[in-house]
Chains A and B, each alone.
Chain A
Amino acid sequence: MAGIAIDVAVAAPRSRIAAFFGSTVGRKMVMAVTGVFLVLFVIGHMIGNLQVYLGPESLNHYAELLRELGHGGLIWVFRGTMLGAVALHVWAATALTLGSWAARPTGYRRRQQYVESTYASRTMRWGGPLLLIFIIYHLLHLTTGQAHGSFVVGDVYHNVVAGFSVWWVSGFYILAQLALGLHLYHGVWSMLQTLGLSHASYNRLRTVIALLIALVIAIGNISIPVAVLAGFVS
């Protein structure tokens, strides 16, 4: 080795927990695990929402059932879990994004030509903040009612129909659901990859599952404001 000196700047070891949450791979896993919760939630939420087609009694009864599960306590446990998942998801995304931006201080003169990446994968960082804004608006609109013109506590069906009758409200919901579809298409696939779920025999299935979830969620949710605007649900 005469004459060869490798400049050795070595990362210091840390405790197990600090090492995991401090590493890019660990933070990606935080994204993925919270992503699992969020994906399962949007699937369940969509199935619940689709009861709007069964009429006011069905939807309102379902909403009441959710509110009263476990003597009204379970919904708060559930809300706390979801809030925690969203907070961790946003924290990991922000930390990783800032790290990645810092990793290339001088960009390419000619824009990188993309070969494998998709529109969905490249818009994750724009879709994410848009979805966060949407979630806040959605809660103020259909959960607490501050952003709703004629909110009636307990009458979910009325709130949905009255809310979506405003064309620009429906427009924002549709836009957000398209963003959600894109986010899910890359997100579900990416989640499986990050959790190490990969095998040559099943890899094509991962894309199929991601596409299926993205399409079903986006179409299912978009159908509701469209049905209200078209007068199908009133």
Chain B
Amino acid sequence: MKLTLHIWRQQNAKSKGRFVKYDLDDVSPDMSFLEMLDVLNEKLIAEGQEPVAFDHDCREGICGTCGVVVSGRAHGPRDRTTMCQLHMREFKDGDTLWIEPWRAKAFPVLRDLIVDRSALDRIIAAGGFIGAPTGSAPDANAIPIPKEDADLAMDAAACIGCGACVAACPNASAMLFTAAKVSQFAKLPQGQPERYRRVKAMVRQMDFEGFGNCTNHGECSAACPKAISLDHIAQLNRDYLRSSLRADRRIVSEVGAG
């Protein structure tokens, strides 16, 4: 396969980037998208040029490290996949592809196709955790959980934090990510103690990072490699409303000591 690639090249966070055109002749349809970039980079290195910087790690679709926008679609044209699991057979011989990093104010470009997604880590740090005793693991079924709830929590927990939802959202909103991280605990008894504090703190951090707001387009869910449902956004909204309506618990001092 022959491809014409327009790739975003940017030296560092401060410099201005631009598209550079590359022609690649020897693309096998069995390569993954990242392997195609590897081939390009080997060619660039052999020619004494700077290789294209891109994020990648597990290359089996579970880590959430890779991700670029290919001709206007996050993670490329195939549904429910990551860049590493997208194969070149999805494209045609002679195609022209525009390859760009995720675009959002909260995701500054570090170099070429690599963006800084630590804003997502800070949202997690604000409340995406539960209190749990250390030591040996508890019995698996010590707390009975309805099958539906366990399944819904698992669906939310499938989020790999790749940021495609932000990239695909016309508003650059991180609602699907934040909602998945809220919802995975909201459905389970282990998530209840911090439930209403969590949603407030995570939404506050999400806004603070400079993400846009959710207008319920649904582009996030369509771009999500794990097809996380908009129902989780409704769950976040529900919890946020409930959390805002109830006053934070105050310590009542009029009780006897001991």
- A residues contacting B by CB (< 8 A) are 6-11, 13-14, 16, 19-20, 22-29, 96, 99-118, 121-122, 124, 186, 189-190, 193-200, 203
Q: Which residues of A contact B35 (CB under 8 A)?
A: none
Choose the segment among B20-28, B40-48, B53-61, B219-227 that binds chain A (4+ C-beta atoms closer than 8 Å).
B219-227
Contact A6 B118 (CB under 8 A): yes
Set A10, A102, A103, A194: member contacting B205, Cβ < 8 A: A10
Contact A121 B212 (CB under 8 A): no
Contact A24 B118 (CB under 8 A): no
Set B172, B207, B233, B236: member contacting A11, Cβ < 8 A: B207
Measured CB to CB, the nearest residue on chain A to B200 is: A19
Contact B207 A24 (CB under 8 A): yes
The answer to the question of B93 belonging to the interface, with a C-beta cut-off of 8 Å to chain A, is: no
Q: What is the minimal beta-carbon distance from A210 to any residue of chain B, in angstroms? A: 11
The answer to the question of B32 belonging to the interface, with a C-beta cut-off of 8 Å to chain A, is: no
Q: A100-B171, A196-B237 are in contact. Are A108 and B103 (CB under 8 A)?
A: yes
The answer to the question of B230 belonging to the interface, with a C-beta cut-off of 8 Å to chain A, is: yes
Q: A103-B171, A200-B231 are in contact. Are A6 and B213 (CB under 8 A)?
A: no
Contact A29 B103 (CB under 8 A): no
Binary contact track B64-77/A, C-beta < 8 Å → 1, others 0: 00000101110000
The answer to the question of B235 belonging to the interface, with a C-beta cut-off of 8 Å to chain A, is: yes
Q: A28-B213, A96-B213 are in contact. Are A11 and B204 (CB under 8 A)?
A: yes
Measured CB to CB, the nearest residue on chain B to A197 is: B234
Distance A124 CA – B234 CA, assembled complex (angstroms): 20
Q: Which residues of A contact B6 (CB under 8 A)?
A: 109
Contact A108 B69 (CB under 8 A): yes
The answer to the question of B168 belonging to the interface, with a C-beta cut-off of 8 Å to chain A, is: yes
Q: Which residues of A contact B230 (CB under 8 A)?
A: 193, 198
Q: Which residues of A contact B104 (CB under 8 A)?
A: 103-104
Distance A141 CA – B248 CA, assembled complex (angstroms): 49
Distance A133 CA – B196 CA, assembled complex (angstroms): 40
Distance A24 CA – B171 CA, assembled complex (angstroms): 12
Measured CB to CB, the nearest residue on chain A to B242 is: A196
Within 8 A of A (CB), among B199-258: 200, 203-208, 210-219, 221-223, 230-231, 233-241, 244, 247-248
Q: Which residues of A contact B218 (CB under 8 A)?
A: 115-117, 121
Q: Which residues of A contact B207 (CB under 8 A)?
A: 11, 22-24
Distance A22 CA – B247 CA, assembled complex (angstroms): 17
The answer to the question of B98 belonging to the interface, with a C-beta cut-off of 8 Å to chain A, is: yes
Set A10, A22, A194: member contacting B122, Cβ < 8 A: A10
Distance A179 CA – B145 CA, assembled complex (angstroms): 46
Distance A107 CA – B19 CA, assembled complex (angstroms): 13
Q: Which residues of B contact A113 (CB under 8 A)?
A: 71-73
Q: Which residues of A contact B29 (CB under 8 A)?
A: none
Set A16, A23, A109, A116: member contacting B217, Cβ < 8 A: A116
Q: What is the minimal beta-carbon distance from A29 to any residue of chain B, in angstroms? A: 6
Q: What is the minimal beta-carbon distance from A167 to any residue of chain B, in angstroms? A: 35
